[in-house]
Amino acid sequence: MKYHFASDNTAGICPEAWQALAEANVGFQPSYGEDAMTLRACEAFREFFETDCDVYFVFNGTAANSLALSTLCQSYHSVIVGDVSHCETDECGAPEFFSNGSKLLLARTEQGKLALEDVERLIGSRTDLHFPKPRGVSLSQSTELGTVYSPAEVTALTDLAHARGLKVHMDGARFFNGLQAAGCTPAEVTWRAGVDVLCCGGTKLGMAVTEAVVFFDRELGAEFAWRCKQAGQLNSKMRFISAQWLTVLQDATWRRYAAHANALARRLAEGMAQLPEVRILYPTQANAVFAALPEATRLGLAERGWKFYQFIGGGCRFMCSWQQTEADVDALLADARSAAGITTG
């Protein structure tokens, strides 16, 4: 089977992160994040975002999202999320579990982005004590459908949320892909645009087992260390996580890999769009391509060993990561052409 395009987490660990793991593997160091490397990694985040944010490392995105969301609300509150959001569709109820029952309210999305007027409708729909009080809004950057919010779009959402007393969470499992595509600074699309807490994804970019939870509103993060520990998310050998972040946060690493994956997705979308009866479903702005493929092409690709997801976004999803090459994209396209019955001379 060829898992190249199934997800960006079917890829391995990028060379820089792998080397950082090896370099951190000397001697003895204080555990549970008390080591010098972890202090430096947190400082690197503050430089990256140009602000005095509070940073924690957890093992995966589900934990990052659900623990971050649980800081926004009491059990009788609710969080507005997109109907296609990972929080709603792919976290097995973890946000509700870790917040002791806070309800997720589903807002309509347009091409993966929260529809502003539907968020507004949900905030105002009920104010009586029989309904869980909305206390947070969660958006994904880049979105589950491979689209990207501009800083202005994020600001429009956070302005609305803050005016009504809600805090804002950004699910950044693919933050770096979104950031590269948005073409702005890390600050501009997060705290300067009003985001209160960001889950900053390392794994899908090419790291081993880590996501950072970044509190721009430091008050929200006040007891987060306890939350992490209780949830089994406090890594005792933290230096191996921190060492990776130190290298990945350098422009030369994150930007190169995010740009690479995004460019491959564009190449793939352009190639797919030229096939007969193929429709690209959403603008290819980050590292995902969603396509409606004729049955023969879809089955033909599967027969030729390509694995891709069909349970997200109403079509076939192809993800690109740091690890694929243009040759991989071209091989997939060649097989798609052959499956569609096109012979090339």
List of residues contacting ligand PLP (CB under 6 A): 60-62, 65, 86, 140, 144, 171, 173, 203
| Smallest distance from ligand PLP to CB 60, Å | 4
CB nearer ligand PLP, residue 87 or residue 275: 87
CB nearer ligand PLP, residue 60 or residue 111: 60
Q: Token pair of 248, please?
A: 């990945």
CB nearer ligand PLP, residue 166 or residue 286: 286
CB nearer ligand PLP, residue 65 or residue 235: 65
Helix, strand, or coil here: 103?
strand
Q: Which residue is nearest to ligand PLP (CB)?
A: 61
| Smallest distance from ligand PLP to CB 200, Å | 11
Helix, strand, or coil here: 334?
helix
CB nearer ligand PLP, residue 62 or residue 285: 62
**DSSP designation for 311:** S
For the CA atoms of 48, 50, 51, 56, the dihedral, rounded to the nearest 10 degrees, stands at 0
| Smallest distance from ligand PLP to CB 61, Å | 2
Residue of 302, 277, 304, 306 lying closest to 291 (CA atoms) = 277
| Smallest distance from ligand PLP to CB 85, Å | 7
- What are residue 138's DSSP bridge partners? 169
* CA 119 centroid distance within chain: 21
Interhelix angle 251-273/175-182, rounded to 10 degrees, is: 80
Helices (H) and strands (E) in the chain, counts: 13, 12
Instruction: Give, for 291, the enclosing helix (H) or strand (E).
Output: strand 288-292
| Smallest distance from ligand PLP to CB 91, Å | 7
